[in-house]
Amino acid sequence: MEAIGKIIATEKQPSTIEEFTFWTRKDLKLKPFDVVVVEHVKDVNGEPTKTFGVIEEISHMTDSPSALAGYISSDFGQVESTSYTERIGMNYVKCKVVGNTRNIYIPVQEGKKVYLAERDEIMEALGLNNVKHKLPAGYIEMYEGVNKQRLPVFFNSHFLIGPEGAHLNISGISGLASKTSYAMFLMKAIQDYAAKDEKESVAFIMMNVKGTDLLKIDQKNTRKDELKQIKPIYDLLELEFEPFKQVKYFYPYSKDLTSYTYEKEDIIKTRIEAGNALQYKYLFETDEDKECLDLLFANVDDPNDTIESIINFIISNGGGFSGIETWEDFKSELYKQTQSDKASKAGKEISVMSWRKFYRLFNKSYQKCQQMFTNKLGGGVRLRDQIRGDIKLYIKNLRENVSGKPVNTRSLRGSGVIGERKTKCTQV
C-alpha cells in the first residue's frame, strides 16, 4: 500500500502508547474503524517493526485563524462567492493503538509514514488470524475504490456453542431488520459448521413472534438481485447457499388450522402431510404443566412479583388448587380467589386485587385461544414432549455406538424447531 500520511506529535497532542495522530490529504476517503499501519522502531535483531492503529476520529483543519475569517473570506457571508485563494487544509486523524508486530509499545515517532493496512495486516491487527474452532460470524469491509478490502470474521465456536459457551447479545435499533436477520444468519452458519464436523451436533428452538418471517426458513430465497449480492459473501465464509435443513414447525392448535397462526392453510396442510409440522396444545394435567403458567404472562410487567407469587402458590398446590386437572376447574378456583377475603381464605396472603388482575390476564388468553387449552391431546402434541423425544433419540444413538463405531449424531445435527406464538399462548 502507498503511504497516506505522516505521524503528528506536538506539545499539546503527543503520541502515546495508546494512541497517535497523523495528517493525510483532505480528499482521501477513510472511515472510523479502518486499520492503518505505521513504521516503527527496529527490534533487538535490527528488524523493522510495524504498529497497528484503528481510526477513531477524523477532523478537517485549515490555516484559517477563526470561524470569522472564513465568513469574511466569503465576501462577508455570500454563499455563492468564490475565494481568490484556496485555504491550506488537511485531514487530521486520531487512532487507537491495537498492536505491534514485535510487541513494542513505545509511542510512534513524529514524521513516520502511515499506510493503509494490507489484508494480512488487518487480520493480525484485529486478531482474526488466530481464531480456533472457526465459526463464520460475518465480514468487514475497509477502504474504498481500488484499496477496498473484504475480510471474513470468525467466532471461536467453543465460546458460543461449546463448553465455554455463554450468552450472545445482538443489539441494534428496532425496526431495521438487522437483529433478527443476523441471528438467522448466525444460526445458519452454526448449522453448516455442525454438518461439517461429525463430533458436533446442534439444534435450534425458535419462537416466531414476527408474522411469517420465521415460517419459511426451509424455503429458498427467490429474489434474484438480492441473491446476487449475497452469494459472494457466502462463498467468502465457505457457507452453503441453501436454506435451513431438517426443519419442523409447531403451530398453535385450532380446528381450522389458521385461527392462531399467520401461515396459510394450504401450506400448513402440506407440511403436516409431509411430517414437517404438528399442532401443539396446552394441557393442565401434571405439575410440569402448572410450571408453564408463567409463559402466559411473559409480556406482563410484574414489578412487585405479585404474578410470580400467585404462580408459585398454584404450583405448590396451595388452597383449592390441589388435585385440579382441567382448565375449567382451574378457572373456577381462580375466580374464587377474586372474591373477598371472607369468601376465600386460601391464598389470603396475596391481595384480592392481585388475584383479580391475574384472573383477567388468564381469562383473556383462555378465551382468545380456547382451542389450545385442552384436557386431551387428541390431534395435538405437547411441545415439551416432542423436543424431549428428539433429545432421547439422540442420546440413544450415542449409546448404541459407544463401541468404537462412528457416532450417529444426525438426529439433532442442524435441526430446527419453529414454534409459532401469534398470541400469548405458548407452552414449552
In the prediction, which pLDDT does 416 show? 55
Give the pLDDT confidence score for residue 420 in this predicted structure.
Answer: 61
What's the N-to-C CA distance of the chain in angstroms? 56
Q: What is the pLDDT of residue 418?
A: 60
- C-alpha cell of 246? 431438517
Q: Could you tell me if 151 and 123 are in contact, meaning their C-beta atoms sit under 8 angstroms apart?
A: yes
Which residues have CB under 8 Å from 297's CB, separation 6+? 307, 311, 361, 424
Closest CA to 183 of 219, 212, 211, 214: 214
Residue 395's pLDDT is 56
**Grid coordinates of 102:** 514485535
- pTM here is 0.76
Question: How many Å apart are CA 288 and CA 385, to the nearest integer?
Answer: 11
- Count of CB atoms situated within 10 Å of the CB of 93: 25
Single-letter amino acid, residue 241: F
Q: In the prediction, which pLDDT does 341 show?
A: 57
- Supply the DSSP string of 121-162, one letter for each residue: HHHHHTT-SS-SSEEEEEEEEES-GGG-EEEEEEEEGGGTTS
pLDDT at 298: 81
pLDDT in tens, the chain (428 residues): 779 999 999 999 999 999 999 999 988 999 999 999 999 999 999 999 999 999 999 999 888 888 888 888 887 888 888 777 778 889 999 999 999 999 998 999 999 999 999 999 999 999 998 899 899 999 999 998 888 999 999 999 989 888 888 788 998 888 777 888 899 999 999 998 888 876 667 888 888 877 787 898 999 888 889 899 999 999 999 999 999 988 989 999 999 999 888 899 999 999 999 999 999 988 887 777 778 888 888 888 888 888 999 999 988 888 888 888 889 999 999 998 888 754 455 556 788 889 999 999 999 989 888 888 888 888 888 888 887 776 666 556 545 554 444 333 333 444 455 666 554 443 33
Q: What angle do helix axes 327-337 and 352-368 make, rounded to 10 degrees?
A: 150
